[in-house]
Chain A
Amino acid sequence: MTRPIAIMLTINAEPVTAMVESRLSLADFLRHQLRLTGTHVGCETGSCGACLVMQDGRVIHGCLTLAVQADGSAIQTIEGLSESGAIADLQAAFHERNALQCGFCTPGVLMTAQELLQLEGVPSREEIRDALSGNYCRCTGYQAIVDSIETTAQRRAVGEAEQPA
């Protein structure tokens, strides 16, 4: 047994200090130690995207990142993105279009979508499908997910255009 290591980071804009085992993944740290169970684990090998979270604004795999590697960084989980209202439009589009069934992939899919939507311009359907290449969904067949992201991109573009300069 190795001695636990102290880490300090912000999670969903709140400061967190914790003792973690060096081998503990960020996903397991979030889920089991902090009880942020919105981040899911589907493969633990970086293939399925169920564990995606944001670290300093970039999407990373919670299963491939160790909790100790998150020391000093700012992590956003689905709980944080949801409660801050940052993805309320995306969530609404997913809800209207039924872009989820079991919902196990959904938090990871929303991370990918949010990162994509932060880029310039409205992505094409092909670009959306491409961006989702690391998100496995067994239930939906993807089309409704693509539709919802496309809708949100269009709505955000219109919204931005209407913003006073």
Chain B
Amino acid sequence: MNKPLSRVDRPNSYIGKSLPRPNAKRLLAGRGRFVDDIQLPRMLHAAFARSPYAHARIVSIDVSAARAAPGVRRVVVGSDIAKLCMPWTGTLRHFKDMKSPPQSPLAIDTVVWAGQPVVAVLADSRAQAEDAVELIAINYEERDVVVGIDAALAPGATLVHDALGDNLAFQTTIENGAVATAFNDAAAVVEVDLRFGRHTPVTLEPRTLIADFEPGERALTVHHSTQTPYQFQDIYARHFGLDESRVRVIAPDIGGSFGMKLHVYPEDMAVVALSIIAERPVKYVADRGESFLNDIHLRDHRVRAKLALTQDGRFAGMRVQDDTAIGAFSAYPRTSAVEGNQVVRLMGAPYQLTNYRADLRVIFQNLPQTSQYRGVGHPIACAATERLVDLAAKKLGLDPFEIRRRNYVTDEMYPHTTATGYRFERLSLDQCLSKLHALMDYPALRAEQAQLREQGIHRGIGIATYVEITNPSPAFYGVGGAHISAQDGCVLKVTPSGDVQCAISVTEQGQGTETIIGQIVADQLGVDRERVRVLTGDTETTPHGGATWACRGAGIGGETALQATRKLRSNILEIAGAILQSRPDTLELADGKLIERETGTVRMNLGELAALVYFRSDTLPPDLKADLTVAQHFAPKGFPFAFTNGIHGSLVEVDVETGFIKLLKHWVVEDCGRIINPMLVDEQIRGGVVQGLGAALFEECLYNDAGQLMNGSMADYLVPMAGEIPDIVIAHVETPTLDTELGAKGCGEAGTSAASGAVLNAVNDALGPLQVQISQIPMTPQRILRALGTVQ
């Protein structure tokens, strides 16, 4: 275990405290600054003419009427922009033989999904730009469309990209141990064939950006609703041939991202190109319809898997086939192979399992791109694994808690390497399981369930264990050639009055990044947290880093801040020693004051020290290094990932007449290592759980065979609303990672990872006595009734 970081009796011990977010007050007063709130001088507005077809050849484009429309300043087609922007390709080297064609901002000869932008209009207002889009005449020659996974893989299938020869973007096989033998010798085998509905993030603030190109200096400033400004700085510089030092990306307040706003979208690149062409600022705000068509989609998977069992209820082997459809292009720069890759690597991970084989196929189709969103593969792997585990329990007559306990990786096995090569430093699977059992009052729930069944009420109880990848090292993207940082940077400076400014590369989308960083700095330095100001989200004023993705804000950003603060503290004590003629190790910083370590006697304020350093350097010893600004970078070096773990419980009631599922309660026990702010962790988990509940019951982008989205509005695409969501009970186990001083791991995805799996198991538990099963999410009333045989 790490040493306790703070003494609770100290005045500034903030680590581990539930403190509110200083930056939330602005948002509560309606004083947030989101990208669409920014208006720049001479700013133009962009709108796009989009392909109505999922697959077609562009025969001709007539923009003459649009050019003449009121307020229109420019109308631009694909070939105009292609000259300015180097195309991008969504492949990475570590996905061997992966393919995806180069992509341009606007379609040039063919369109490959419905909604693909073809022509851009710039006008004085968004309304005028949209009016002009209506006047653009594009002739298309329709081509055959491929949507379904089986259709895309069939011999002689319609091809999304002729040049690629087939629709397979990537495939891989993972094999460990003796799988065939395990299945031959198995006492029993259970299997699943699960379908996961393609859905989409629906951040409340849509994708928005303003590109502002200054031709004199060839400088580009982009106000961008993104979680990864540094990644976009690199991309804009490289793809537009600009000096990186003159590209500035600012991410102000962001209205939700969850992974959605870190991918490159054609409109982003088009807007930058348009600003270069027009030499004026250009704003683009996706409207909700455009968001449904072009925000990344995710989780379009079919998982077939089998689990071999021994007589005594142990897992002998697992076989997995994951087929995932990713749309027409692999996303850039992170690719669309990561989700599938994580599914096949995470299946069965919490359990003792050596005999394992998984095959993954990543498939093109004429739909929008899918890519990483909160949880990336974890919810699929979790639901499929945990479904198998429940089926195994049923087959062997074991309780779901008991079968898990029998098969978990146990405490004495750490550090543990899974069948797929993931390494666990230390998990707390058993502890979480026991804690959930007590938290739910499981025996009472089972008794109540049995009693209600007699009255014809169908309640179900489901649990789902997860492990989660956090604090990723370069193994994730860097090794594949992506310019995506796994390290973070922090610059700390003491102002003349003794305040502290912290510029850090992790970013804020409301999860509380700035708050926890402020807590760490104030705690480790020994100052009031009110006196620490944290700055994020601007490539020009903060050091380069990975920013926020894959659960790294607390674990990596927090450690960076901690190390920077210790450096600054040691500088301060050194300076204080010189000024006060004391040995630095006899001094201490507490509550913004330099005190004697032994007696607590106050010697001077930090502000007095800073004022001497800044204004009276003549009074300091000539050889004293009086650095009150420090910089620190940190990258994880030990385990490639800091795995977290936990378990969810779900209680549902299924109305067998209507097919409606009522969520009655949801429990989470999780272990994200050292907790910096319990309230913020709990709220991250709750928000994540609800996104998983959406996937379980409501959310799906419904496409027809022609590749047309049938429910592209918030009236038709269902998201979880307050009335449908139960209260969520959360408990923690803390197993800090020893790879860092701070010991924190990530918690942002823990909620989403197992929520849908727990509900899937709960609903099947409710349906069990009726001898039917459901194997598809979202579990809509219609699908429940179909499972019950009530409707076709």
**Chain A interface residues toward B at CB < 8 A:** 1, 21, 23, 31-32, 35-45, 47-48, 50, 77-79, 82, 91, 94-98, 100-107, 110, 125, 128-130, 132-133, 135-146
Contact = CB atoms under 8 A, between A and B. Distances in A.
Given A41-B36, A138-B719, 10 more contacts: A35-B39, A37-B30, A37-B37, A104-B34, A129-B723, A133-B722, A136-B721, A141-B687, A141-B690, A142-B721
A45 B204 contact: no
Contacts of B359: none
Contacts of A146: 722
Contacts of A45: 288, 713-715
Contacts of B475: none
B657 to A, nearest CB: 22
A98 B202 contact: no
A101 B37 contact: no
Contacts of A43: 288, 713-714
B719 A136 contact: yes
A145 B722 contact: yes
B215 interface: no
Q: Secondary structure of the A side of the interface?
A: loop
Contact of B32 (A95, A104, A125, A142): A104
B214 interface: no
B25 A95 contact: yes
A152 to B, nearest CB: 13
A23 B127 contact: yes
B203 A138 contact: yes
Interface in B1-33: 20-21, 24-33
Q: Secondary structure of the B side of the interface?
A: loop
Interface stretch (B167-175, B253-261, B408-416, B616-624): B253-261
In the A-B complex, list the 6 residue pairs whose CB atoms are closest, starting with the nearest.
Answer: A38-B30, A103-B27, A101-B510, A78-B30, A104-B255, A102-B510
Contacts of B244: none
A47 B511 CA distance: 24
B141 interface: no
Interface in B24-64: 24-34, 36-37, 39
B396 to A, nearest CB: 35
Contacts of A128: 722
A130 B723 CA distance: 5
Contacts of A91: 25, 28-29
A1 B509 CA distance: 39
Given A141-B725, A143-B686, A145-B722, A38 B31 contact: yes
19 contacts: A31-B37, A38-B31, A40-B255, A42-B204, A42-B714, A50-B204, A98-B683, A100-B27, A100-B28, A102-B204, A103-B253, A129-B722, A132-B721, A133-B722, A135-B721, A138-B204, A140-B686, A142-B722, A143-B727
B287 interface: yes
Nearest to B713: A45
B683 A79 contact: no
Contacts of B691: 138
A136 B690 CA distance: 12
Interface residues of B, number: 55
Contacts of A144: 683, 686
A97 B686 CA distance: 13
B721 A103 contact: no
A31 B35 CA distance: 12
A48 B205 contact: no
A40 B509 contact: no
B439 interface: no
Nearest to A110: B28
B17 to A, nearest CB: 13
Max chain B Cβ within 10 angstroms of own Cβ: one of A31, A41, A77, A141:
A141
B177 interface: no
Given A102-B254, A102-B510, A103-B255, A141 B686 contact: yes
Nearest to B680: A98
Contact of B28 (A36, A77, A106): A106
A95 B20 contact: yes
A144 B689 CA distance: 13
Max chain A Cβ within 10 angstroms of own Cβ: one of B25, B27, B510:
B27
A109 to B, nearest CB: 9
Interface string B510-534: 1110000000000000000000000
A107 B21 CA distance: 17
Interface string B663-706: 00000000000000001100100111111000000000000000
Interface in B557-582: none
A102 B725 contact: no
A136 B20 CA distance: 23
Contacts of A106: 27-28
Nearest to A36: B30
Interface in B198-217: 201-206
B715 A102 contact: no
A91 B202 CA distance: 25
B510 A100 contact: yes
Contacts of A129: 722-723, 725
Contacts of A132: 721-723
Contacts of B25: 91, 95
B32 A103 contact: yes
B70 interface: yes
Nearest to A128: B722
B259 to A, nearest CB: 12
B656 interface: no
Contacts of B687: 101, 138-141
Contacts of A133: 721-723
A50 to B, nearest CB: 6
A103 B689 contact: no
A140 B683 contact: yes
